[in-house]
Structure 1
Amino acid sequence: MYHSIQVFTFLSAFVFLIGCKEEKKTAPTSEETSQKIKKEVSPQDTTVIKEKPQGIDTPDGMVWIPGAIIEQGAVPQDKMAMEHEKPAHKVAIDGFFMDITEVTNAEFKKFVDETGYKTVAEREIDWEEMKKQLPEGTPKPHDSIMQPGSLTFKKAKTSVPNLYDFSQWWQWQIGANWKHPDGPESSLIGKENEPVVHIAYEDALAYCEWAGRRLPTEAEWERAAQGNQSESVYFWGDDASGLSKKANTWEGEFPVTNTEADGFDKRAPVKSYPPNDFGLYDMAGNVWEWTNDWYNTDYYTEVAARNTILKNPKGAESPFNARDPYAKEKVMKGGSFLCNASYCASYRISARMATSLDSSLEHLGFRTVASADMVENSKR
């Protein structure tokens, strides 16, 4: 129900709800989640599938990612790396197929046209369901507020001294959704080849089911982003000086002025920048991408402490965010057009952020993957 709670979070009349917690609930502790992580059995076999199996054709719009043993997490020379990207740890990953680009508006429209699917951001808000997630006695807001919508970006008029207060550049907009990515008055005209956004986790899963695909694990995503640059900060190496020619990010003073040195103020059509070694586009910048892993603050530390190589890891068994123990979040990767060196520099390979299951924002989309057996079974 986080999507619904966002209605309150970004309206001043209900700001007090941000810090409210239900007394009956007990937040999971770091120690409890750590114990769950430790239960995962570390496999001894680290042999991986490197080459695409014979007799299996690469699906249209996808590319084969060779299996490998990689270091997942921040490289030593990355001065921008955040603590939750450390420590780096070895993982063994079987080869898989991955979308060359993020799912576009045109591709998502085909899915909606064939299925009639309605995204989370388009659905009416159910007050009876919503109030179960709020403190007892919370009054129902006016019907004019209880309308479906999503979060859109707004530039600040002056310099922002506190870059940790994201409410300064995000606003809740009724009527914002994948069809209206920049707000209710916007449309998809001319944006058919831009990545679809305002996609909640369940929306991405629904598309995957329709397409016979799945979301990547964080380890798979990072393997794909690395290409042949397994020891580099960025998919092209360690030099950030040519960023404007490599990715769609925020250049200028965030969130006040975007110089558009990369050619775009917001989202760019897919394939607007050079691909990485594997032929994948926008593995840095443009829009964040969902993965299937739970976000757990302690996961990297616990995995590294095992001193072994995990094979095809699927992330933490359960979610845990030290800043908000009640949150249930997934890991998103890749950064977006809002990433700036002064804020997060999340166009780095190891960059990772947490986002709630029902979050939908104008800089969050996804791409799909498929294992060899999924492709083989789809032919039967």
Structure 2
Amino acid sequence: MAQTILGAIHSRFNGPCDVLHVHNPTLAKNRQYLKILKSLQKKGANLLLQIHDFAEDGRPRAYFTEEYPADCHYGVINGRDYDILLNAGLITNGLHLLANTVDHHRLAPPPGKPREPMTLYPVRAIRRKNIGEAILLSLFFKDEESLSITLPPNSAADIRSYNNWKAFVKDRNLKVAFERGLSHDFETNVMSADSLITTSITEGFGFSYLEPWLFGKLLWGRKLPDICRDFENKGIQLQHLYTQLLVPLDWIGLHQFRANWINCVQQACRLFNYRIDNTVIQQAFDSCTQDGNIDFGLLDEGSQKKVIADLVGGRKTSDGLMQLNPFLTNPGDVSDKNSLIRHNRDAIERSYNQKQYGRNLREIYDRVANMEVKQSIDKKALISAFLDLKKFSLLMWSDYVE
């Protein structure tokens, strides 16, 4: 296969390539992938292996047990991953940060069509997008505001969870619409919305934190500090987003949740052939549940539904949640929305444009083509970094169970 690839390159370009840029090489969607890359390397290819998604980041079934290619260049799309790979053994000369570029939209609302009292979650509703939290937020919307989620998942692993959320919403007559993106195009959806939200518990690059501002829309919801750090360092203001949404432990059925959480950690360790002492696991759970509360984003769907159902059914009061999470009193409220939108749009256009991206890419290619490196990835260090029990969410790590 390696020779076939090199032959195709030679045929297309009438000679060898200077750099072979490979995307997502460490996900075991093709079990022969690493063997092919190592063979290409032996045949003289200058590899740039750009990682967008790590198997170690909640994807143990896409994990290669063999070592990743050594003595070649690696690329990443955010500062978090850059730091993780440095700590896992890579060197600055052989590791490159290549942030994505963002399409710069300047759109006007559709003519003759007023903006709807609608908050849009423009997402394909896979489990790690934390749909339950968006539904919970909708209970606190003002002035007949509704929530619209644009697209269904396209992976079998996420379909059951998604369909059960749809049934849950329908049974309780909540103001949540699904699959709006199947009947309206993306631009119409965005320009018709009052604001956009994100409740995702993990991101790669984090387009969802950038694109709304370019449409002239306010973004609010959950902030992922390790992803948003890059954007804030570029002057993008995201301080109005929240980093956790606390719920009381006695709302969820603590005993069963603790057992599920600990079992899931242990299963992940087995799949990665990685050991964490049981005492450390218990201490991590205690840390996640200190003061008698837990972040809603760490819960499985069943626990999330219990919280929402009890609020809708009047068995729990919204006042308790608003005391723990003051932002729920006025969701998405900022003091000067238009000024914030202008500021963030300008900052994004300044830092995430095609000119900047092209310049960075050319500099990286030049280094890959002309600089040999000696480096390798310590896979145990990589697992340790991503298997962070302080942020261990069952939405991300567990199989779906209703």
Give TM-score, length-normalised by structure 1.
Answer: 0.26
Instruction: Give 1 or 2 for the bigger CA radius of gyration.
Output: 2
Greater relative contact order, per chain length (Cα 8 Å cut-off, separation 6+):
1
Higher helix share: 2
- TM-score by length of structure 2 reads 0.25
